[in-house]
């Protein structure tokens, strides 16, 4: 959509500048912070009031609660590779 086209370059750039190999939700929050009118979720506005430096300081806390956290990725990739579903709240199941 047009909204994605407006946001994607911003969070891709933020991820690249941070040396990240993939785009994370924190990069999306940082990019949306500069364009809050593009957000379509009413509950998102409190996070959009945070600045980039505040989000960077909160990143360890956000990472610890994220389904995207690096320590969880190998388990998800392994489960997907052998055709299992991975429920992030309960682990691997057939």
Residue-by-residue DSSP string for 31-84: HHHT-GGG---GGGHHHHTS-HHHHHHHHHHHHHH-TT-GGGHHHHHHHHHTT-
For residue 20, what pLDDT is reported?
Answer: 72
State how far the Cα of 66 lies from the Cα of 83, in Å rounded to an integer: 23
- Look at the domain 2-66 and name its fold: Double Clp-N motif (1.10.1780)
Per-residue pLDDT of the chain (94 residues; tens, 9 = 90+): 555 556 566 666 777 777 777 777 777 777 777 666 667 777 777 777 888 788 888 888 887 887 777 677 666 666 666 655 545 455 444 4
For residue 61, what pLDDT is reported?
Answer: 86
């Amino acid at each position: 959509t047009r909204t994605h086209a407006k946001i994607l370059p911003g969070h891709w750039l933020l991820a690249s500048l941070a040396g990240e190999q993939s785009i994370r939700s924190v990069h999306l929050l940082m990019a949306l912070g500069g364009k809050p009118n593009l957000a379509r979720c009413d509950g998102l506005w409190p996070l959009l009031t945070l600045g980039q430096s505040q989000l960077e300081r909160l990143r360890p806390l956000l990472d610890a609660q994220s389904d995207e956290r690096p320590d969880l990725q190998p388990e998800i990739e392994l489960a997907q590779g052998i055709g299992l579903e991975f429920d992030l709240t309960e682990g691997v199941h057939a």
